[in-house]
Structure 1
């Protein structure tokens, strides 16, 4: 799936991602400031999380309770090596059967499961975003 969207359409994009994915693990690729966290916030909200969500840039992971169980949001921008993610028990989160949203997954490639959904976001010159979604293969 590929499409362009504006911030006004983020609700629709989040709904589509949650409805169409066969995985509860979502990997978000894109440059800094492209809207990864904004999209994740909307997805977390749609899962029934009532607490305000934010980027876990400094804590690495945020955990939320939702109607669908626990939701984990990781931001690996600040790690230096995938072993840091391994050391915090990432594999336990990935195989917990809960929703897992990961920003900067390229930093932990050796740990990524095969059943994840890859989401690539790019900024367009007109301010909209281009999103490509594909299962990991």
Structure 2
């Protein structure tokens, strides 16, 4: 388990960029937390850590359901389950191809449908401590995440 407090969106992005060095093709990062807790900022940090070109704007795919960020060390696939009310609404997205493919997948609001998330996922939980302060807890991979 990794636990970190951040005091700004930039610190959240920096933490995610640092964490991205641990990620490998086929890894999934399941993001959970209240609205405005920092999930999208974390994905922006993952993209920065993968050296996704800065001209590619990383935003939540609330309406598109998935955004692909290519051109970095690894492809980054960004899902958002916020607007979905039933797991069947994900049919036809080819999630398995993304989840087990050559890139890393980040899923915002993963707790809406935990049954869709592989057991091997990293879970990233965001708690709002103050206006800009967050506590971010990462678990997964058998809760053993060795330091590098």
Q: How does 1:95-134 map to 2 (within 5 A)?
A: 95-125=100-130, 127-134=132-139
Residue of structure 2 equivalent to 1:12: 14
What is the CA–CA distance in structure 1 between the aligned matches of 2:99 and 2:108, rounded to whole Å?
14
What is the CA–CA distance in structure 1 between the aligned matches of 2:96 and 2:13, rounded to whole Å?
30
* Residue 37, structure 1, aligned to residue 40, structure 2: yes
Alignment CA distance shift 1:57-1:11 (3 Å): closer
| Structure 1 residue 3, shift from structure 2 partner | 1.7
Query: Can you give the 5+ residue segments of structure 1 that lack an aligned partner in the other structure?
Result: none
Which whole-Å deviations, capped at 9, do the CAs of 1:17-53 have from their partners, x for residues lacking one? 2134567210100000111101111211221211111
| Structure 1 residue 61, shift from structure 2 partner | 0.3
Decide which of 90, 94, 105 is 2:95's aligned counterpart: 90
TM-score (norm. length: structure 1):
0.89
Kindly report the root-mean-square deviation, in angstroms, between the aligned alpha carbons of the 2 structures. 1.9
What is the CA–CA distance in structure 2 between the aligned matches of 1:63 and 1:101, rounded to whole Å?
10
What is the CA–CA distance in structure 1 between the aligned matches of 2:43 and 2:75, rounded to whole Å?
14
Q: Which has the higher helix share?
A: 1
Residue of structure 1 equivalent to 2:146: none
Residue 54 of structure 1 aligns to a residue whose secondary structure is coil
> How many residues are aligned here?
137
TM-score (norm. length: structure 2):
0.83
Alignment CA distance shift 1:124-1:73 (3 Å): same
Query: Can you give the 5+ residue segments of structure 2 that lack an aligned partner in the other structure?
Result: 143-148
Following superposition, which runs of at least 4 residues in structure 1 exceed 4 angstroms of deviation? none
What is the CA–CA distance in structure 2 between the aligned matches of 1:133 and 1:92, rounded to whole Å?
24
